Every structure is written in structure tokens, then in C-alpha cells.
């Protein structure tokens, strides 16, 4: 569903009426947070995708990393997962499904969680994802609505996977670039989240289907601030910008533009391809984080020391400027 359509749907639902529901759907957060007691809160999320690759095991890894990311984006620790499966059992053999689940289990185990069960239904095409339950301290979760003017903005992964997968259908992407893309999206956001726990994170989200622009927009709206992004500092996957320059796009870009265009100001000389990559839909994308600017350098260093090679400073948080949620310079 498009971000605008989803927002309209959610606006029709009643707001939370339970004081223990610390985070619901009102601020477009990555997961819900429900307080159990003064020391513990549950992090609750679900995510399901169609295959971006042909290999079943690899599909399971990507889908699991994508779903687990929501818990890491909230500053939480995943505990237990349920498989969510749509499968064309008349067309594909059980070994395909076994491979998908095997790949997912590898990532679940890597995240320190357990696979507790799931649900399978017949479908016309394969779909796979997870419902994930995690844990976080009720006073220390991260959300969309906490970014403050003066904060620095950090990213942990490059963007561009959406257009690369589309272009790869027509063999336009080099094997080296495709392998690098897959390495990125099968990497958990666990190391980044763990390193950031040492800092005063004010706001965080993972960059997924709405693109960097869309998820940055949600942070800006939830926090009532304006995010300023330095395009030259944004990490890009190899050949992704080239694909947009060649006219390749995704089926989601138009809907993502609809969400953010009237709230975005371009202060630089960004090309149309550069504007497109800002709404490129990511699968298992990295984190976008707002924290005090004085902590930014050390936070980037600690993430890089933990193996998050692409961690970097990409912008700043400014006081809200009218309707402008995003400034690209």
C-alpha cells in the first residue's frame, strides 16, 4: 500500500486508549511498544515481502533481516519470531519452502532470537516474513517522534537496492554490484543498534519501503522538525544511481514521491536521478538516527568499530520551517 493510502487508512482508526501502549500507529513508527512493568516493554512488529531473489535460502535471509530490523530500529532486542508464509503449494515443491525457512532461521538465530512457530496459507506467489516480539526498557526505546533541532543525522547502510533488483531482472547490473547489494541487505542492523545504545539517541527509524525520503519525512513530521540532508554524504550502493540515470525505476517511486514532494525543498542542483534515489524503496535497509551533534563523531566511530562500515553523518535536524519537512542540499 502507498504511504499516502496507508496514512488515510490509519487516520480512520481510533487512537490508543491503553496507557501501557507507549507507541502505537499514530507516529508511523517501525514497531509498537507495550509496557509490562517499570523495567520491561514488549516491541511488537510484523513484516512480509515477496521474493527479490530466486534463491529460497537467500530470500529467507533477506525477509528475516527485514522483519528483525524493526525491533533494532526501536532500540530493542528480538526474543521470539513467528513465520508468516504465503506459498503456492500446487506450483512449488516443499523443498522451496524448507529453504526459505532455513534461511530465515539462520538470521533469527544470529539475532539471538528463537523461532516459535508461524502460519502458512496458500497463495498465488511466495510471500514470507516474520512477526517479531522483542524487549526494550520502557524509558529507553527509540521512536520517530523525538528528533530535536541541533541533532545530527546518521545513516548505517547505503541505499539503492530497489532499483538494483528491478534492473537486475534485465541483466543491467554487474554481478559484483548485485552481490554487494545482497551482502548489505542480509546484514542485520543489530551491530548498529548495539553501538548506538551507548549514546543519547533521540529518534531512529529503519529505511525501508518508503525510501530515505519517506522515512525521513515520517521522522520530521513526528518530531515537528525539518531534516536537512547533504546529498553528497548519503551512502549509495554501487551502480544504483547509474540505473536511474539510464531510466530504470521501481513501481513504488511514484507513490513515494506523492508522500513527500510538497514537503521537500531541494537547495542543491540535484539531478532527476538523484531525486529518484531518495525515494528508492529499500528492503532490509539501514537505520536513520538523530542524536546530539556532539556525540555524532564518536557514534559513527563506534559503529564502524563494530563492523558497520557504511555508518556516516548525513545531515542535521533544524527547527521546523513551515510545511518543509525535508531539505536536500
Give whole-number Cα distances, 63 to 96, 131, 147, 166, 187, in Å.
15, 11, 29, 17, 11
φ and ψ of 226, to 5 deg: -115, 130
In a domain, 104, yes or no: yes
Q: What is the pLDDT of residue 67?
A: 98
Residue 14 confidence class, pLDDT cut points 50, 70, 90: low
Q: What is the pLDDT of residue 206?
A: 97
* 184 and 126 together in one domain: no
Q: By C-alpha distance, which of 51, 12, 193 is closest to 129?
A: 51
Q: Are 243 and 164 in contact (CB under 8 A)?
A: yes
Containing domain of residue 208, as a range? Answer: 151-328
Q: What is the CATH number of the domain that holds 48?
A: 3.30.1330.10
HSE, CB side, 13 Å, CA atoms: give it for residue 97.
20
In a domain, 75, yes or no: yes
pLDDT digit string, tens, across residues 103-112? 999 999 999 9
Chain centre to alpha carbon of residue 157? 10
Q: What is the pLDDT of residue 195?
A: 99
* 121 and 186 together in one domain: no
pLDDT of residue 13 exceeding 80, the answer is no
Report the C-alpha gap between 147 and 34 in whole angstroms. Answer: 21
pLDDT digit string, tens, across residues 148-205? 999 999 999 999 999 999 999 999 999 999 999 999 999 999 999 999 999 999 999 9
* Sheet of 77-87, strand order: 21-23, 32-35, 41-49, 127-136, 77-87, 114-122
Chain centre to alpha carbon of residue 239? 21
Domain boundary residue, one of 136, 167, 191 = 136
Domain boundary residue, one of 78, 109, 136 = 136
- pTM, entire model: 0.94
Share of the chain above pLDDT 70, in %: 95
* 314 and 264 together in one domain: yes
Residue 12 confidence class, pLDDT cut points 50, 70, 90: low
Q: What is the pLDDT of residue 17?
A: 78
Q: Are 34 and 112 in contact (CB under 8 A)?
A: no
Domain boundary residue, one of 88, 104, 136 = 136
Q: What is the pLDDT of residue 27?
A: 80
Number of folded domains that form the chain: 2
Q: What is the mean pLDDT of the chain?
A: 96
Amino acid at each position: 500500500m502507498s504511504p499516502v493510502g496507508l496514512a488515510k487508512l490509519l487516520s480512520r482508526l481510533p487512537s490508543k486508549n491503553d496507557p501501557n501502549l507507549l507507541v502505537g500507529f499514530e507516529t508511523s513508527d517501525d514497531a509498537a511498544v507495550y509496557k509490562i512493568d517499570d523495567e520491561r516493554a514488549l516491541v511488537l512488529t510484523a513484516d512480509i515481502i515477496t521474493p527479490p531473489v530466486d534463491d529460497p535460502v537467500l530470500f529467507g535471509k533477506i525477509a528475516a533481516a527485514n522483519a528483525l530490523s524493526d525491533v533494532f530500529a526501536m532500540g530493542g532486542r528480538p526474543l521470539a519470531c513467528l513465520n508468516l508464509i504465503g506459498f503456492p503449494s500446487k506450483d512449488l515443491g516443499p523443498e522451496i519452502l524448507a529453504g526459505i525457512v532455513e534461511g530465515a532461521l539462520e538470521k533469527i538465530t544470529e539475532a539471538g532470537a528463537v523461532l516459535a512457530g508461524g502460519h502458512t496459507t496458500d497463495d498465488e506467489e511466495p510471500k514470507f516474513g516474520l512477526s517479531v516480539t522483542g524487549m526494550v526498557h520502557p524509558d529507553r526505546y527509540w521512536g520517530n517522534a523525538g528528533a530535536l533541532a541541533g541533532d545530527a543525522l546518521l545513516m548505517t547502510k547505503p541505499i539503492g537496492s530497489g532499483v538494483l533488483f528491478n534492473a537486475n531482472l534485465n541483466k543491467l547490473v554487474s554481478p559484483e554490484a548485485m552481490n554487494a547489494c545482497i551482502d548489505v541487505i542480509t546484514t542485520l542492523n543489530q551491530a548498529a543498534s548495539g553501538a548506538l545504545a551507548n549514546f543519547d539517541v533521540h529518534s531512529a527509524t529503519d529505511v525501508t519501503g518508503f525510501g530515505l525520503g519517506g522515512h525521513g519525512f515520517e521522522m520530521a513530521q513526528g518530531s515537528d522538525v525539518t531534516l536537512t540532508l547533504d546529498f553528497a554524504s548519503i551512502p549509495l550502493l554501487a551502480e544504483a544511481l547509474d540505473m536511474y540515470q539510464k531510466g530504470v525505476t521501481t513501481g513504488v517511486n511514484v507513490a513515494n514521491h506523492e508522500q513527500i514532494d510538497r514537503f521537500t525543498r531541494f537547495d542543491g542542483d540535484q539531478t532527476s536521478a538523484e531525486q529518484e534515489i531518495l525515494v528508492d524503496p529499500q528492503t532490509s535497509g539501514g537505520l536513520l538516527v538523530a542524536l546530539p551533534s556532539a556525540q555524532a563523531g564518536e557514534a559513527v566511530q563506534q559503529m564502524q568499530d563494530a563492523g558497520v562500515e557504511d555508518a556516516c553523518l548525513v545531515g542535521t535536524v533544524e527547527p521546523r520551517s513551515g510545511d518543509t519537512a525535508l531539505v536536500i542540499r
